[in-house]
Structure 1
Amino acid sequence: MNRKTHLFIRRSHRYLGLFLGLQFMLWTMGGLYFSWNDMDEIHGDHNWKAPQNLKADLIVVSPTQVIAQLPAADSIKSIRLIEVFGKPHYQVQYFMAAAEKVTVKTQLAIASTGSLRAALSRQEAVQLAMNAFSEPTQVSKVEYLTEKFVNGHHEYRGSPLPAWAVTMKHPSQTTVYVAAELGEVMKFRNNKWRIFDFLWMLHTMDYQGRDNIGNVLLRIFSIAGMVTILSGFALFYVSSGFRRKKKSLA
C-alpha cells in the first residue's frame, strides 16, 4: 500500500474520531446511567401505591344505559370498569363524527346508577394523586394541561389530555399526572426520570420529540461511526508489523 493511501486512512480515522468522539461519549454516558439505575425507581413505581380492587359483589347497571346518554356517539371504542374514590365507575371511550372528522371522546359514569359525571375537578385530581402516592406528603403545585401546554419535550407527552399535573413536596420532586376525563392516574415523573429523559434525547439524537430512533441525524452518525471503526481496522492493518514482516518475506 502506498504512502498516500496510508495517510488518507490515518487522517480519515483521526478526523472522524474527533467529529464523532463527543457523541460517542454522550452515548456511553447515557448507557451507563440506563444500566446503573433501577428502572422501577426511574418510573416512580416505588412511590406508586397499588389501587384498590373493586369487590366482586358490587351492583352495577348495564353499560347500555350509559351509552344511550352519550351525545352523537358514532361507535364505541372501549368500556372499562374502574375504581374512583372507592366507587365503581364506567369509563367509556367512543368515536364521534362531526364535519367529516372523527374524534375520540371519553365519558365517566357512576356504575351503580348509570349517571354521567363530569371530568375530575382540581380538588378531585389532587385527592386522587395523593391517594396514589405511597408516602404522606403535601402538594407544592397544581397545573391543568391541555394540548397547547404540552409540546414535544413535555414529560407528559403522548398521554391523554386534558390532565392535572400535581407536584408533590418530596425530595424526588415527583409530579403525578391525572387524566381528567379518564379519571385515572397515568404517570409519575420524578427527578431520576427527568435525567433519564434528557440522556435519552442525547442517545436518540431526536431533539424535538426525543423518542424517534429512526431520525436522519442518528442514521448519519451511526453510519459515520461504522466508517470510523472500519477505518480503525484498516489503519491497524496498514500500520501493523505483521504486514511489514509478511511483505519483506515476499
Structure 2
Amino acid sequence: MRKAHNYLGLILFVQIGLWFLSGLVMALLPIDEVRGNHLKNSITTSWHKAAFSPSDILSEHSSSASLSLTYRVNTSQSSLDAIPVYYVVDGDNAYRYSALTGERLNALQEKAVRKAATKQYAGDGDIVEAQRLDELPQEVQNLSAPLWQVSFNDELNTRFYIDPNTGSVSRVRTDTWRLFDFMWMLHIMDYKDRSNFNTPWLIAFSGSAFLFTLTGVALLYKRFKPKKKKR
C-alpha cells in the first residue's frame, strides 16, 4: 500500500497541483468581469411604438409561417436603443421586418456594425478592427456563424462578437475571460474543445486521485491506530 501511495503521488502531483491552482484562480476572478458584463451597455426596446401588427406581416406569407418578436440596434440615432422586429420563419427561409415601418430588414454591414458596437461598448478603447467571420474561433465555438468580430484597443484586448441580424453583442471576450478559459481547460483536462467533462484523462486521473486518498487514509490509520495494552 505504501508503494502504491508513493507511485500514485509521483504520477498525480502535477495534475493535483493544477487542479488546486486552476480552482483558486477561477474562484478569485469575479464572474461578471469574466463574462465582460461591465464592458457592455444594456439595450432597451419600445414595442408600444409598433405601427404594424403580426397579422399585417403574416399576410405576406404562407399559413404555415411562424412569427416571433426580436429587435435590432438602432444605428441611426446617437442614443442606445433598439427597434422592435418581427422574425418570421416560412419553410426554409427566415425574414425580419421592422415593426415600425413594416419594411424587410437585411443583415447589417460593417459601417452599421461599428456603430452598434460603439454604442454598446462601455470601455475606454477604440475600435481597431471589424471583420465578418464565417468560421468562428475557439472562444465562441458554441455560437452560430456568421458573426462580426469587433476588436478594441483597451488594456483587456476586448472583442465583441455581434449578431449581424440584431446588432447586439452575443459574447464579450477579454484577457480575463481567456485566463479563466485556460484554467478551465486545465481543470477539466479537455485540451481541445474545453467543454467535455467525460474525457479519459479526467476519469483516469480522478480515479487515481481517489485511490491515492484512500491509500493515504489507510496508511495514516495504520500508523496512528491505538496499540493494545499487554496484560
Does 1:62 find its partner at 2:50? no
| 1:100 matched residue in structure 2 | none
**Conserved? CA contact 1:107–1:181, under 8 Å:** no
Per-residue deviation, 1:112: 1.3
- Equivalents in 1 of 2:205, 2:136: separation in Å? 29
Q: Does 1:84 align with 2:70?
A: no
Say whether 1:142 aligns with 2:126. no
Which runs of structure 2 are paired with 1:1-250 in the superposition (5 Å)? 9-51=1-43, 53-55=44-46, 57-69=48-60, 75-76=65-66, 79-85=68-74, 86-92=81-87, 94=89, 96-97=91-92, 106-146=94-134, 149-150=135-136, 154-238=138-222, 240-242=223-225, 245-246=227-228, 249=230
Misfit runs of 4+, over 6 Å: none
Q: In structure 2, the residue corresponding to 1:155 is in which secondary structure?
A: helix
Residues 147-193 of structure 1: CA deviation (Å, up to 9, x unaligned): xx225xx1112113210000111111110110113432111110000
1:195-219 CA distance string (max 9 Å, x none): 0011101111112211122333212
Q: Contact conserved, 1:167 with 1:176, CA < 8 A, in 2?
A: yes
**2: CA distance, partners of 1:39 / 1:189:** 13
Deviations 1:58-94 (A, max 9, x none): 1331234444556x89653x61232421452315263
| TM-score normalized with structure 2 length | 0.86
Q: Which runs of 5+ in 1 are unaligned?
A: 1-8, 98-104
- Number of aligned residue pairs: give it: 225
Distance, in Å, in 2 between the alignment partners of 1:93 and 1:216 is 44
> Does structure 2 retain, via aligned residues, the 8 Å contact 1:108–1:119?
no
Distance 1:177 1:125 in 2: 10
Whole-angstrom CA distance in 1 between matches of 2:150 and 2:86: 22
Contact 1:90/1:110 (8 A) holds in 2: yes
Amino acid at match of 1:166: V
Q: Report the counterpart of residue 6 of structure 1 in structure 2.
A: none
Identity, in percent, stands at 26
Contact 1:167 1:175 in 2 (8 A): yes
Contact 1:142 1:164 in 2 (8 A): yes
TM-score of the pair, normalised by structure 1? 0.80
CA-atom RMSD in angstroms: 2.5
C-alpha distance 135-242 of structure 1, shift in aligned 2 (>3 A): closer
* Unaligned ranges ≥5, structure 2: 75-80
| Cα distance change, pair 235–69 in 1 and its aligned pair in 2 (3 A) | farther
Task: Look up the equivalent residue of 1:172 and give its one-letter code.
Answer: L
